[in-house]
Structure 1
Amino acid sequence: MQTLEYEASWDKALPSIDREKIEAIFQETSLSGNQAVAFTPLWQAMNYKGELLVTVLVHNFTVNQFSFSKETILYIEHNDVLAAHEFTIPALTLEAETSMPWAFIFPVESMKAPPTLEDGRLEFINAF
């Protein structure tokens, strides 16, 4: 059965309104849909450096641990790829059948076009 976990710093700092939203979305998306690892969008924003921040629920639907090591992830809006970046995230290791919120930061140089921040989603460049 899929469980929701929080990385320690998220667990301490996450406002209760965001936690409630994450938990509600998790309840709606805790089934695999035949994907090993999947993303459910939560929100996206631009920071003061012009970087794109995309917050998602990362779902590991497999029976094995999963970590991000040189994983190329695409940011897509309206079927257009607007950013691509390779992520290695030692702090993000998902146990089997676990979901966790995470913010992916796309550097300015990884963006191909300015995002509208509407209907954005993340995808692996090579699906599992």
Structure 2
Amino acid sequence: MIEYKDITYFPMTWNYTQALGLETKWDADVGFVVRKSEAKAAKLNPDAGVPASKLYAKLPDFNVYVNDVWIDNSSEEYPLLVLNDVNYFPMTWKFAVEELGLTASFTNNSFYISK
């Protein structure tokens, strides 16, 4: 996970999306799609990190959809980011709770998110 502009971003890798019970799809013609689903959350098996000296980030050069609705990523205050070829999704209230149906809280200086 990373923090950008005081917002936690989750990597949309297989391990993390399964732990959040989300459905994702990548298609070169369509772009990146993330949807809430009825799937149960799986146990998180964290992915290995990358040394800070090898990190790079950029805005995606592909379309982004949330629940099959196109997101104008260029106008989002907290856009989807691509960090070392992994899509990172902002866990804002709008996206995490309202769009993806997750439960999020910030307690005792810790961020919690679950399905």
Tell me the TM-score range normalised by the shorter chain: under 0.3
TM-score (normalised: structure 1):
0.26
Structure showing greater relative contact order (alpha-carbon pairs closer than 8 Å, 6 or more residues apart): 1
Give the structure with the higher percent strand. 1
TM-score (normalised: structure 2):
0.27
